[in-house]
Amino acid sequence: MSKNRSFFVAMDPPKKRRRSGDEAAERPEKSRRKKKEASLNREASSFHNYELLIFRLAVSAAIFAFVLISTLPSYADVLLLLAGCAISGYDLAITAYRSALQRDFTESSLVVLFAALASFPIGFGVEGLALIILFQALKMVVTLVAERNSNAILDRIDSREENLRFLAQEEFRGEDAPEIRIASVIESSVRPVFLMAMAAAVVLALIMAGLMHYNIRVAIHRAITMIVILTPYSILVGMPVIGRVSLGQAAVNGTVFRRASDLEQLDGTKTVILEKSCFPEPEPARILSYSSSGLDDNTFLMLVRHLLNGSEQSFALTILDSTDSRMMPELISDFSEAPGGVEAVINGSQGYFGTRSYLNGMGINPPESGEEKGIPYYLYFAGRYGGKILLSEGREEDVSDLVHDMRFSGVNRCVLLSSESAEEVSDFSSKSDFDDVFAGVSTENRLGLINEICQANNIKTLCVRSVTFDERSVADVEIRVGENIDDADAATLPQFFMSIPSLFSLSRRIREIAMENTILAFGIKALLVFLSLIGYSNLWISISVDMAAAFATVMNANRVTTKSLFKIFFNK
């Protein structure tokens, strides 16, 4: 255990900009109204768009079926197929145009539209229309599943504190809320690779037609099939779902993050700075109620107090401190105790007082009681049931457990800041394993000291502070204890403060699941490219399997809340 260091800190207060109370209250309120209105508008338009898309796909499917069974001239079939493409995929054309302007040539809508139109000159128009219908239908299914997964985690928050639920629902509606950093890294890495692979597919088609004497139509068809496969859609579609599910799980654990990327940043944190004011105050146990059976209240409490007179257990001290009656120690003999109860002889009669499990060990079965919020203790005296006392469950958080859990999560240095003097904070710090304890830190000096600690170590730092109007520190991630998240990356309610260490494993799982999805989707694409190259996969099969891979990555995003299967297997 490292030695605690407590000392006073004296420094000039940092210059900072403060907002007036009215302005600080007005800005969050306006932001909340805008987010709520935008959310309602998106939900209404989303439902309407899905209905319209289903209708368009049904019309295109009818055209597709008619072309297959009709005996119209070939030019009429082509016109009908083009009409079907326009009906089912006009929104793809709009998206493709925007992607082309941004020079994003691997965007799935652009690639699918190009492949569908390129199928007509080589005589595969039916396959081109089928490609658009399948892509639109499967993409809609994947999107609906992704939205359902994201909403399911929000439903779990409904059972939490009302303030926590309200705060989470506001923050999660932001457009950038589900974005994670690793998704940008993966996207920037795979897009150039896929773009070069598409160019290689075109070169391969020319080689097949020129040197290997393949039919030009077959060579182009195989190249188009490989180009359709080489889009990053199935790799990237699950990334926002990972972000939303992880945000929801963090909220279930009591912490609301503004963005999933902020939660992801916790992975690799080596220094944690905690303010003592963030720790919940201990809540002692108290008597909720008591009831006697066959005894008046004064006699009942007097017997209980005599039985507990020699005990040092916490429940005994609580009852003795909360009640008052005349004591006659000379009547007590043969006193003994065990965890959860005591027994003694009072004026020649045997008495027991304790929990149900303690009395069961003595061969006594107390009467059944209904669901009660508290811990019941029962009195048995002279072979008869005498009554019970219901105590609340006292809460005294173990600081050492918090620091231990953080170290288990990979944190190397834990720093405690306190406005109290060194003498006042010494008892608190002695129960823990903080590496450094800064005592006597004034409100004016606090932000400057935090920034100094963060800048002195060129490593990731988490700062957990109480809600104030201070500017944000330079820590990589800052969590405020309270409901104000405006100047921080996250907020946690005081009663959930001790669950902060669980966020480290959650942030690690974000990257693990993102890599699992990437490997899965990339492997399926590699297999499809090989099958297309040797002529065993066409546009229909390729887009269906690729969208199935997208569906699998979306479903796998739910596993961000579970333990890694690889770690479970290798730790056996």
Q: Is residue 414 one of the residues assigned to a domain?
A: no
Cβ atoms of residues 245 and 557 within 8 Å: yes
- 387: containing domain: 287-391
Q: What's the rounded Cα separation, in Å, for the pair 492 and 263?
A: 13
CA pseudo-torsion sign 289, 292, 297, 300: negative
**Number of domains forming the structure of the chain:** 1
Instruction: Identify the sign of the CA torsion 181, 184, 188, 190.
Output: positive
Low-confidence ranges of the chain (pLDDT < 50): 1-48, 568-572
Residue linked to tokens 């005589």: 123
Dihedral over Cα of 431, 435, 437, 443: its sign: negative
Going through 197-340 in order, the beta strands assigned E by DSSP cover 255-257, 271-275, 287-292, 332-338
Burial class (CB in 10 A: 0-12, 13-18, 19+), 385: middle
Q: What is the pLDDT of residues 149-191, one digit of tens each?
A: 666 666 666 555 566 666 666 666 667 778 899 989 998 888 8
Does the residue 349 lie in any domain? yes
Domain membership of residue 301 (yes or no) is yes
CATH number, residue 371: 3.40.1110.10
What the block records as the tokens of 175 is 């457009």
371 belongs to a structural domain: yes
In a domain, 333, yes or no: yes
Residue 6 dihedral angles phi and psi, to the nearest 5°: -115, 130
CA–CA separation, 1 and 196 (whole Å): 55
Which amino acid is it at 139? K
- Segment (H or E) for 151: helix 125-157
Question: What pLDDT, in 10s, does the model give residues 206-216?
Answer: 887 777 777 88
Q: Cβ distance 2 to 435 under 8 Å? A: yes
Q: Are 377 and 388 in contact (CB under 8 A)?
A: yes
Compute how many other C-beta atoms are within 10 angstroms of the C-beta atom of residue 299: 15
CA distance 366 to 356: 7
* Residue 263 is assigned to a structural domain of this protein: no
Tell me whether residue 411 is in a domain: no
Q: SS in 3 state form for 236-265?
A: HCCHHHHHHHHHHHHHHCCEEECCHHHHHC
Tell me, yes or no, whether 406 lies in a domain. Answer: no
CA end-to-end span of the chain = 29
